[in-house]
Structure 1
Amino acid sequence: MHTTLVSVDQLKALRDTKARLMVFDCTFDLMDPASGERQYLQAHIPGAVYAHLDEALSDKGLPDANGQQQPHADAASGGRHPLPSREKFAMWLSSVGFANDMQAVVYDRNGANYCGRLWWMLKWAGHEAAAVLDGGLQAWQAAGGEVRSGAEASHFQSNFELGPPLRKLVTTQQVAGALGSGAVTLVDARAPQRFRGEVEPLDPVAGHIPGALNRPFAQNIGADGRFKPAAQLREEFDQLLGGRDAASVVMYCGSGVSAVPNVIGMELAGLTPPGLYAGSWSEWCRTPRLPIEKG
């Protein structure tokens, strides 16, 4: 069973042995939401299922009177990419034929930015056998891995059953209630200029949650496009936390997606899996009377 990362060679071995396996392509572009599926149709690992961030991995409702998209009532978070309920996510997994006895391998072309979302959601659904393809499609192709174009044949409906959550989802109320207490160490995965509030291209208010630390998600990835070695990640997270308890860490970003490479980085470093504030800045800054910090 692969539970965090899987190498290209390990994925090839899984495919060669005809293991119970489903591969997911999560390529996406926030500025052009249709481009990920276009890229998938141009080239993907044979048999891979496309997982669209907005349609499969989020639960976006209809716009309100102000034109703001609101999550469905049963969504597990707010923000720009509301997390669907575990039950709704299980229905999607069943619809693509994913079953409880399968190994999931997720990848993208974006430095694990988007496939990490599906990895985390599978853990949250109680499925341990989920791993990120280290280096993404680029590593697969560089190693001579076969790719296919066009759509894949549909899978038979399965009956995926939820298990106890294996990762911790944190709400706005929990974050707000812990501010200033020292019980939670917030880590913001956005770029430094967004964290400092100098620019904000996506949300209505600039800044960050008071007291948060900043670790842009791309810092987990080395020059070769793969996650950095465990010892290097451990050193970097120890330096970031400065003696704070790793078990207190809650990751967030703009909408709960790019925070996940930080989650994976901490786990690879051998630290306690952190919580994820899925609503993240996009939910925090739209919630009345919550404090905001800049600089």
Structure 2
Amino acid sequence: MHTRLVSADTLATRDPRADWLLLDVRHDLANPTAGEQAYAQGHIPGAFFLHLDRDLSGAKNGRNGRHPLPARADFAARMAALGLTPATQVVAYDAQGGMFAARLWWMLRWLGHEAVAVLDGGLPAWTGAGHALDTDAPAPRSAATQYEAPSRVPVRHADEILARLGDATQLIVDARAADRFRGENETLDPVGGHIPGARNRFFKDNLEGDGRFKSAAQLREEWQQVLGATPPTEAVHQCGSGVTACHNLLALEVAGLAGGMLYPGSWSEWCSEPSRPVERA
């Protein structure tokens, strides 16, 4: 069972008789149609496409962020339609260093499905290893029934975070780029800045130059500096809309520092309520 990362060669040499579900989640926040277009032009053979906005997010109401979580039952039904069973090994990939694949990884864990991994290095690692792409959409393979198991991933919500602002035992880690964290160059959300007291760990700092994750030892060393005295289970992770924070949570699992909490609404939800405080610089 693969639960964190899987290499392109491992994926290419998997037992064809085994129940593996490949999911392409390429996306571009500035061009929401780009991922689906790229999938049509070529994807890993047998992979299905999932869209960040349609499949990995719920309905927006102007106060719950740009990519709110869907209802668990709705997500379970969507995954059952793709053939997910308790015995299925899921592999998610994108072409952005795991930026979107990690969101699906976290969501399946949230659904209670443990056998899910991210393709390390994504589609560039697959093609770089000489493996072929396909343009044919795979045949539907619906599961007989959908399932939800008890979730093992904790979440924290805006009111809970607000109630503990200033509490030294609450550590918030923001996965956005440093300029957006400081409140500069904000192009996605109407307000720039960050949750007061948050620390910044840009999700791309989890990666090597080739888009693969750093070693477990290096990630552990770097993340221990971010966490300080806070146990990894007590850290709250957020970003702009609850997507790249999942990348940090995956990196922590690779590092052996599992158990952090996701704030699903993240900055886009936080800043939608004017009464919530904002910090800049």
What TM-score, normalized to structure 2?
0.96
What is the distance in 1 between the residues matched to 2:169 and 2:263?
Answer: 15
CA shift, 1:13, in A, is 2.7
What is the distance in 2 between the residues matched to 1:217 and 1:24?
Answer: 21
What is the distance in 2 between the residues matched to 1:151 and 1:159?
Answer: 23
CA shift, 1:146, in A, is 2.1
Pairwise mapping of residues 118-157 of structure 1 onto structure 2 (< 5 A)?
A: 118-157=104-143
Pairwise mapping of residues 172-211 of structure 1 onto structure 2 (< 5 A)?
A: 172-211=158-197
What is the distance in 2 between the residues matched to 1:144 and 1:9?
Answer: 10
What is the distance in 1 between the residues matched to 2:85 and 2:259?
Answer: 25
What is the distance in 2 between the residues matched to 1:57 and 1:246?
Answer: 25
CA shift, 1:245, in A, is 2.5
Please, which moves more after superposition, 106-115 or 237-246? Answer: 237-246
Question: Do 2:208 and 2:214's aligned partners in 1 also have CA atoms closer than 8 Å?
Answer: yes
CA shift, 1:150, in A, is 4.0
CA shift, 1:70, in A, is 4.1
- 2:69 alignment partner in structure 1: 83
CA shift, 1:118, in A, is 0.6
Residue by residue over 1:74-109, the C-alpha shift from the partner in whole angstroms, topping out at 9 and shown as x without a partner, is: xxxx20001001111101111222222100000000
Secondary structure in 1 aligned to 2:79?
helix
CA shift, 1:157, in A, is 4.7
- 1:65 alignment partner in structure 2: none
Secondary structure in 1 aligned to 2:140?
coil
What TM-score, normalized to structure 1?
0.92
Q: 1:225 aligns with which of 195, 201, 211?
A: 211
The one-letter code of the counterpart of 1:170 is R
Question: Do 1:127 and 1:166's aligned partners in 2 also have CA atoms closer than 8 Å?
Answer: no
CA RMSD of aligned residues (A): 1.4
Secondary structure in 2 aligned to 1:169?
coil
What is the distance in 2 between the residues matched to 1:94 and 1:12?
Answer: 24
- Structure 2 residues without counterparts, runs of 5 or longer: none
- 1:56 alignment partner in structure 2: 55
The one-letter code of the counterpart of 2:122 is G
Residue by residue over 1:14-39, the C-alpha shift from the partner in whole angstroms, topping out at 9 and shown as x without a partner, is: 2x342111000000001110110000
What is the distance in 2 between the residues matched to 1:241 and 1:267?
Answer: 14
Q: What is the number of equivalent residue pairs in this alignment?
A: 281
Matched, 1:47 2:46: yes
- 1:266 alignment partner in structure 2: 252
Which of structure 1's runs of 4+ aligned residues deviate more than 6 A? none
Matched, 1:242 2:228: yes
- Structure 1 residues without counterparts, runs of 5 or longer: 62-68, 72-77
CA shift, 1:180, in A, is 1.2
Secondary structure in 1 aligned to 2:35?
helix
Pairwise mapping of residues 27-46 of structure 1 onto structure 2 (< 5 A)?
A: 27-46=26-45
